[in-house]
Amino acid sequence: MTEAATAAGPVDSGPTAGERFINGILPENPIYRQLLGMCPTLAVTGGMQPAMTMTGGVLFVLVCANVIVSLIRGLLKPHLRILVFTLTIATFVTIVDRFLAAYMYQMSKQLGPYVPLIIVNCLIISRCEVCASKQSVRVALADAVGQSIGFGLALASIASVREILGSGTWFGMRVLPAAWPEWVIMVLPPGAFITLGLLMGLVNWYVDRRQPSRR
Amino acid sequence: MAEDTPREAEAQASPEAHINVAPSPHLASTSGACTTRWMMLDVLIALVPLIVAALVVFRLYAVKQLAICVVTCVVAEALFTRWRGRHANLNDLSAVVTGVILALSLPWSAPWYVGLIAGTVAIGLGKIVFGGLGQNLFNPAMVGRAFVLVCFPVALGATAYQSDTSALDAVTAATPLTRAVQDGESASLWSLFLGNVNGSLGETSALACLAGGIFLCLRRTASWEIAAGTILSTAVVALIAQLLGDGVLSMLHHILAGALLFGAFFIATDPVSSPLTPTGKWIFGVGIGLFVMLMRLFSGYPEGVMFAVLLMNATTPLINRWTIPRPVGGPAPVQV
């Protein structure tokens, strides 16, 4: 019904659902290729548990926001669209925030302001703008899931390095011998910047090697 | 990064060019007396008194740290330059100098992995990621030391220096600056001057630092303006603190104790990460001295030379821009 109502502009001229999904994972990885959503990337990757909780929150918000924005894309007025995106995102972020506070109180306290800050995570606004406001619900859904997986993989890689080197644990389980000297800097903000930079260099090196034409 | 390769190739391709204007240190020079290798050799010669002092005070611990740090830095330099697809030029000895300075800035008790990690970080994150020798913004040895200091606060903090059970005389008491902060005691000036006190390996003997540092300044390898600026500004602030009756350390204590002389002569004067002009060098040196005294008097750390040098390294591009020398005869007329 709404599909038919969106006569404004060429419908679905962009990538297909499959392309959107694959693009989100590595070719247009939100962290390593687009450098979007740096705030949670740097702030919550001290351990795997907060990183994965953040990924779950972003997945929920991104899927819901993309679907809603895609459904109402025929009603959007160009000068008000960012406002509508932000209000839609804020609704679902509030749900996530209250859910965490109700069922995962310790994690909610640990994540602190970074859950409400998902509202201004430019990853989600950019997906609404780039994909959901222009393409069908099916493509927007695939895009949201693909980008969330890419976001989750990036956060998991950074958090793994930081938690293993910084605490000798992974998901709170001890993986290195107790004699391991903990690299305290890795769980502090400088460790986030150093790890992000080195891993981004690694990903760029990998992508360049596979596709020499991108150089 | 991309621009220096053609410049080097050009310099090698035209040996008849006699005037070669470039920021120091120089990879090649037509006269042969002012190459990077010779500058680094000068620094190594100047470091000999410090190494001797460290060997006398800390014996085999000094040998251990020096060996670990130098080997790590040289291997890291070879490895990382190869990864970047460059020709590793180990003959310029800059990695050795970084290793020695790094080792001399560590406590005697540091475990083996500290030197290993600090050396790798110093060369990898402090130097090669910026494009190698001559491109780094910060002093590589201090980047490595800052990394391990934040990484292992227990193994490198003030408590790491002291050991009641050690056979070494010097390490049964805390470092002079820590003692002044915690116990309100001041060490005798004579022992601070000779070096029979606790501290990082290279910093204990003011005599050795002065001997090596004055040699470097006479050879013009190190800029005397930086060292003089650092020591003078430290002295002025310390004198004010002494007159106000703040703390137990006199002005001379502040100059002789800790890493001030070592830092002023050997760390701050790194030609890559310090300003180019004489005025800029004075500003740089004075800034280091002020930061050192700020941290010694008001912060939780007993010593602040490393952070002071890193902070002023960050301002070096700005200082260079401020202090562009006026050409003889006034600025060039504006082309309309």
CA of B79, closest CA in chain A: separation in Å? 16
Residue A2 binned pLDDT confidence (cut-offs 50, 70, 90): very low
- Asked casually if ipTM beats, i.e. exceeds, 0.90, the reply is no
Residue A3 binned pLDDT confidence (cut-offs 50, 70, 90): very low
What residues of chain B lie within 8 A of the CB of A183, using their CB?
Answer: 117, 151-152
Round to whole Å and give the CA distance between B119 and B33. Answer: 29
Query: So what's the pLDDT on residue B221?
Result: 86
Residue B3 binned pLDDT confidence (cut-offs 50, 70, 90): very low
List C-alpha distances in Å: A144 to A23, A56, A135, B232, B332: 11, 12, 12, 61, 59
3-state secondary structure of B107: strand
CB half-sphere exposure, A105, CA atoms < 13 A:
1
Give the global pTM: 0.82
CB half-sphere exposure, A203, CA atoms < 13 A:
22
Round to whole Å and give the CA distance between A24 and A40. Answer: 18
Domain ranges in chain B? 36-321
- DSSP letter for A8, please: S
What residues of chain A lie within 8 A of the CB of B151, using their CB?
Answer: 183-186
Q: Does any CB of chain A come closer than 8 Å to the CB of residue B322? A: no
CB spacing of A184 vs B152 below 8 angstroms: yes
CB spacing of B151 vs A186 below 8 angstroms: yes
Q: Does any CB of chain A come closer than 8 Å to the CB of residue B153? A: yes
b/e per residue, B293-326, with b = 16+ CB within 10 A? bebbbeeeebbbbbbbbbbbbeebeebbeebeee
Query: So what's the pLDDT on residue B260?
Result: 92
CA of B131, closest CA in chain A: separation in Å? 14
Mutation choice for B interface testing from A180, A184, A193 by most B CBs within 10 A? A184
Residue A50 binned pLDDT confidence (cut-offs 50, 70, 90): very high
CB B280 within 8 A of CB B322: yes
Mean pLDDT in residue range B113-130: 92
CA of A183, closest CA in chain B: separation in Å? 5
Residue B4 binned pLDDT confidence (cut-offs 50, 70, 90): very low
Residue A9 binned pLDDT confidence (cut-offs 50, 70, 90): very low
Instruction: Classify the C-alpha dihedral B1-B5-B7-B12 as positive or negative.
Output: positive
CB A153 within 8 A of CB A83: no
Lowest mean pLDDT among A85-94, A120-129, B1-10, B178-187: B1-10
Q: Which is higher by pLDDT, A18 or B35?
A: A18
What residues of chain A lie within 8 A of the CB of B150, using their CB?
Answer: 184-185, 188, 190
Size of interface A-B (CB pairs under 8 A): 18
Closest Cα partner for B54 from B119, B105, B115?
B105
b/e per residue, B7-25, with b = 16+ CB within 10 A? eeeebeeeeeeeeeeeeeb
Q: Which is higher by pLDDT, B143 or B161?
A: B143
Query: So what's the pLDDT on residue B28?
Result: 54
Q: What is the dihedral of CA A80, A86, A89, A90, to 10 degrees?
A: -130
Domain ranges in chain A? 31-208
Round to whole Å and give the CA distance between B164 and B173. Answer: 8
Position B106: which residue type? L
What residues of chain A lie within 8 A of the CB of B111, using their CB?
Answer: 181
Tell whether domain B36-321 is in CATH 2.40.128: no
Round to whole Å and give the CA distance between B262 and B239. Answer: 20
Instruction: Classify the C-alpha dihedral B302-B217-B28-B2 as positive or negative.
Output: positive
Cis peptide before B6 (omega within 30 of 0): no
Query: So what's the pLDDT on residue A11?
Result: 52
Kindly report, residue by residue over B223-263, the tens digit of the pLDDT: 999 999 999 999 999 999 888 876 778 888 888 888 899 99
CB spacing of A185 vs B113 below 8 angstroms: no
Q: Which residue has the tokens 């008194």?
A: B49
Q: Tell me the two tokens of residue B70.
A: 């130098």
User: Does the structure show a pLDDT above 70 at B117?
Assistant: yes
Round to whole Å and give the CA distance between B45 and B50. Answer: 10
**Closest-approach residue (CA) in chain A for B146:** A185
Quote the distance between the C-alpha of residue B26 and its chain's center: 19
Residue B25 binned pLDDT confidence (cut-offs 50, 70, 90): low
Query: So what's the pLDDT on residue A1?
Result: 40
CB B40 within 8 A of CB B94: yes
Mean residue pLDDT across chain B: 84
**Closest-approach residue (CA) in chain B for A180:** B113
CB spacing of A183 vs B151 below 8 angstroms: yes
Size of chain B in residues: 336
Round to whole Å and give the CA distance between B116 and A47. Answer: 25
Kindly report, residue by residue over A155-189, the tens digit of the pLDDT: 999 999 999 999 889 988 888 888 888 898 998 99
Mean pLDDT in residue range A4-10: 44
Round to whole Å and give the CA distance between A51 and A196. Answer: 14
With pLDDT > 90 as the criterion, what percentage of chain B qualifies? 43
User: Does the structure show a pLDDT above 70 at B121?
Assistant: yes
User: Does the structure show a pLDDT above 60 at B7?
Assistant: no
Q: Does any CB of chain A come closer than 8 Å to the CB of residue B111? A: yes
Those residues of chain A whose CB sits closer than 8 Å to some CB in chain B are: 181, 183-186, 188, 190, 194
Q: Which is higher by pLDDT, A214 or A62?
A: A62
Residue A85: partners with Cβ closer than 8 Å, 6 or more residues away: A65, A69, A124, A125, A128, A129, A133
Position B296: which residue type? R
